[in-house]
Amino acid sequence: MRKIWRDVLIFSAIAVSIPLVILLLIRFTPQPPTGEMEYAREILSKAGTNKADTYSKKLFTEAKIFYDSAMVIWQKENKRFIYFRHYDKVIMFAELSAKKASQATDNSISSSSNLKIKLKQKIESLNDLVTQIDARFTTYPLTSEIHDRISKGKLLLNEAEIVYNKGQYLQANRKITDSEYLLTESYENASANLKNYFKSFSVWEKWVDRTLNESKKNRDYSIIIDKFSRKCFIYLSGSRKYEFEAELGRNWVGEKRVRGDLATPEGMYKITQKFDGSKTKYYKALLLDYPNEKDKEKFKSEIEHGSLPASAKIGGMIEIHGNGGKGIDWTEGCIALTDKEMDVVFKIAKIGTPVTIIGSMVDLKDVVGKQIN
């Protein structure tokens, strides 16, 4: 009987202790950091969605490193006996990853917003620059290289606006940077060229004064061609009587140096012949005495000093003629007017009428403002 009771007691003790042991085993079993890792992964994914890998690369990279470190340690601990596992470092790195990823998200949103504002300002600024370039240099004969760079800069700016409107700010930024370089450099080179051209303004002023004084003194007509403004001014007794649009040689900037350079000469000339009907292919024409003695002397000097090759030929046959009104500079060096305007000029002109051709009657600062220093 005693044995039975002893067995009962032993069985009861075992029955009671087994659940207790199980509870103790469960209680002291290390819990895997599933929640912490899941949270870190979600925050990291959110950072990626907000392009933190682009706009906050340093913080995003740190967040990924911390997350990867947590994964490596977790996997390492899982290989140990369950009761010897320690997840403290896993949790620490997971929390650091989440913190860095959250910072990367905030920084990315802020950087993206700031970049958007900055790019918008850049686009507006470059569009203003394009407006200035078009206003000042559309009809100014720049080199083909500068024209090509301006065209490429405009194209890149247009592409930048398209990707900007799609929210692709980094791509827009790259295109804007390239566009800004091309347009700014081209504008500076063109402005320097224009500034250099206007160094002759004091000479042009003297020619104009002499021409107008002669017109006033002789109480007769004189003609002044302002190349920069594309104007043909007719004066009588020193007072302006007519003003016509003029079209010039395709490379009109500067003086005419050689035959075939498509430049309209600059200087004080006179009409030597008048052609109409079958005598000219340009409706009516007034032949100038280009090259005059000064032109010939300068040409000879350039040959002697080597600035022109010995094989160069001086130009000639410069006229004021009709067939104009094309809206572009198209002649080989002549001044073209519409046929109707040519009728007026042909009627008042005579052999010996002065024709003064200058770069501009207005100084550069008054032509384009004070932005070209």
The pLDDT tens digits for 322-366 are 999 999 999 999 999 999 999 999 999 999 999 999 999 999 888
Alpha carbon distance 64, 245 (integer Å): 69
pTM, to two decimals: 0.70
Closest by CA to 265, choosing from 256, 274, 273, is: 256
The answer to whether 283 touches 313, Cβ cutoff 8 Å, is no
pLDDT, tens digit, 9 for 90 and up, residues 59-72 = 999 999 999 999 99
Structure confidence at residue 24 as a pLDDT band (50, 70, 90): very low
Count how many residues are written for the chain: 373
Residue ranges per structural domain of the chain:
2-110, 115-198, 200-368
- What is residue 138's predicted lDDT score, i.e. its pLDDT? 82
pLDDT, tens digit, 9 for 90 and up, residues 205-248 = 999 999 999 999 999 999 999 999 999 999 999 999 999 999 99
pLDDT, tens digit, 9 for 90 and up, residues 80-133 = 887 788 889 989 998 999 999 899 888 888 888 888 999 999 999 999 999 999
- What is residue 74's predicted lDDT score, i.e. its pLDDT? 87
Return the beta strands (E) in 246-321 as ranges.
Answer: 267-276, 284-288, 319-321
Show Cβ contacts of residue 302 under 8 Å, excluding neighbours closer than 6 positions.
257, 308, 312
Alpha carbon distance 77, 34 (integer Å): 13
CATH code matching the domain that covers 200-368, chosen among 3.40.1280.10, 3.30.1240.10, 2.40.30.170, 2.40.440.10: 2.40.440.10
- What is residue 165's predicted lDDT score, i.e. its pLDDT? 94
Alpha carbon distance 196, 186 (integer Å): 15
Give the CA distances from residue 132 to residues 183, 191, 363, 372, in Å, rounded to whole numbers and listed in that order: 11, 11, 18, 11
Angle at 303 between CA 299 and CA 307, to 5 degrees: 100
Alpha carbon distance 203, 223 (integer Å): 17
CATH topology of domain 115-198: Substrate Binding Domain Of Dnak; Chain:A; Domain 2 (1.20.1270)
Section 275-283 average pLDDT: 92
Give the CA distances from residue 291 to residues 217, 254, 350, in Å, rounded to whole numbers and listed in that order: 26, 15, 19
Hey, is 47 helix, strand or coil? helix
The answer to whether 233 touches 345, Cβ cutoff 8 Å, is no
The answer to whether 326 touches 247, Cβ cutoff 8 Å, is yes
- What is residue 289's predicted lDDT score, i.e. its pLDDT? 96
Burial profile 136-157: b = 16 or more Cβ within 10 angstroms, e = fewer? bbeebbbeeebeebbeebbebb
Hey, is 321 helix, strand or coil? strand
Q: Identify the H or E element spanning 121.
A: helix 88-137
Angle at 131 between CA 129 and CA 132, to 5 degrees: 65
Q: Exposed (0-12), middle (13-18) or buried (19+): which is 257, by Cβ within 10 Å?
A: middle
Structure confidence at residue 33 as a pLDDT band (50, 70, 90): confident
Mean pLDDT over each residue of the chain, to the nearest integer: 89
Q: Identify the H or E element spanning 49.
A: helix 34-49
Phi, psi angles (nearest 5°) of residue 64: -65, -40
